[in-house]
């Protein structure tokens, strides 16, 4: 069975949610502690959301130099799939596994809402269950979710197809080019600001929106991000 490490830092909130998503996707979640450099022979790593180290300095800045991250950076360089969600995305940028930075939302407020995303790249380790153009709705909750980078970096990310997810209908935080998630050049490291782990079980995800308004009992559209890992491992 594919073993997926889920890292807990001081201030992490969504590690158990991420572990549940990993389990529902058919993988074995393995708890990893921020002080432990041993990845315990996992096949992939998830950096979940929260407020690591209280978001002191900058969001993710302290977590990026935690002992476990030295091993994550090394493993990612050798091709291990790594997913960063919300604060995990911030950590990946601070650790220079992904380009750009996440700054304060342009409206200066913490935001919590269901958010529609469009899949822009279906060839990464974390998007193999999707097709380009697919739209999914997952929860979004952040105060520092505004993705920014130098204009030439944005141009390169777009030109190389490294924008993985894009906000649809509304840009909730001012991110450049409506960018919600990106990948590294190799496609094994992905960071996204919204929370797919909160939309993996029927009855507990965002409600479907149809012609008659809110419908259903909650979607599971975020689960594909975690099941993608199994497809990537098989291929």
d(CA 187, CA 124): 5
Q: What is the pLDDT of residue 235?
A: 60
Q: What is the pLDDT of residue 230?
A: 84
Q: What is the pLDDT of residue 234?
A: 59
Q: Could you list the active site residues?
A: 86, 195, 197
3 state DSSP class of 44: strand
d(CA 9, CA 47): 9
Among all chains, which residue has been given the structure tokens 């935080």? 173
Q: What is the mean pLDDT of residues 206-212?
A: 54
Instruction: Dig out the tokens for 49 from the structure.
Output: 């959301």
- Residue 124 in contact with residue 84, Cβ under 8 Å? no
Beta strands in the chain (DSSP E): 3-8, 28-33, 44-47, 82-85, 101-103, 111-119, 135-142, 146-148, 163-167, 179-183, 189-192, 208-210, 213-215
d(CA 71, CA 36): 9
Enumerate the β-bridge partners of residue 147.
Answer: 102
Instruction: Dig out the tokens for 51 from the structure.
Output: 């407020």
Q: Which of 12, 45, 26 shows the shortest CA–CA distance to 230?
A: 26
Q: What is the pLDDT of residue 206?
A: 81
Instruction: Dig out the tokens for 128 from the structure.
Output: 């193999």
Handedness of CA 17, 48, 78, 125 (dihedral sign): positive
**115-173 per-position pLDDT tens digit:** 999 999 999 999 999 999 999 999 999 999 999 999 999 999 999 999 999 999 999 99
Q: What is the pLDDT of residue 214?
A: 43
3 state DSSP class of 22: helix
Q: What is the pLDDT of residue 123?
A: 97
Q: What is the pLDDT of residue 207?
A: 63
Return the percentage of the chain with pLDDT > 90, whole number: 88
Pairing of strands 163-167, 111-119: antiparallel
pLDDT of residue 209 exceeding 80? no
Q: What is the pLDDT of residue 211?
A: 42
- Residue 213: CB atoms within 10 A of its CB come to 8
3 state DSSP class of 71: helix
pTM for this predicted structure: 0.94
Q: Which domains, and CATH codes, for the chain?
A: 3-233 (3.40.50.880)
d(CA 194, CA 147): 12
């Amino acid at each position: 069975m594919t073993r997926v490490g889920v890292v807990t830092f001081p201030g992490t909130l969504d590690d158990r949610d991420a572990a549940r998503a990993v389990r529902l996707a058919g993988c074995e979640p393995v708890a990893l502690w921020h002080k432990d450099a041993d990845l315990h022979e996992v096949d992939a790593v998830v950096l979940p959301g929260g407020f690591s180290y209280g978001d002191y300095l900058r969001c993710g800045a302290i977590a990026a130099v935690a002992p476990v991250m030295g091993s994550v950076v090394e493993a990612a360089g050798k091709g291990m799939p790594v997913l960063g969600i919300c604060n995990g995305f911030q950590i990946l940028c601070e650790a220079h596994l992904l380009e750009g930075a996440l700054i304060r939302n342009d409206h200066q407020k913490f935001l919590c809402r269901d958010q529609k995303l469009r899949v822009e790249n279906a060839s990464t380790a974390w998007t193999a269950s999707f097709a380009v153009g697919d739209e999914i709705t997952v929860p979004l909750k952040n105060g520092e979710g505004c993705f920014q980078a130098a204009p030439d970096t944005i141009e390169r990310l777009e030109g190389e197809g490294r924008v993985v997810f894009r906000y649809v209908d509304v840009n909730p935080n001012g991110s450049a080019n409506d960018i919600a998630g990106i990948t590294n050049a190799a496609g094994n490291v992905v960071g996204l600001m919204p929370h797919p782990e909160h939309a993996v079980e029927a009855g507990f995800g965002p409600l479907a929106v149809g012609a008659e308004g809110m419908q259903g009992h909650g979607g599971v559209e975020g689960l594909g991000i975690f099941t993608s890992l199994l497809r990537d491992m098989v291929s």
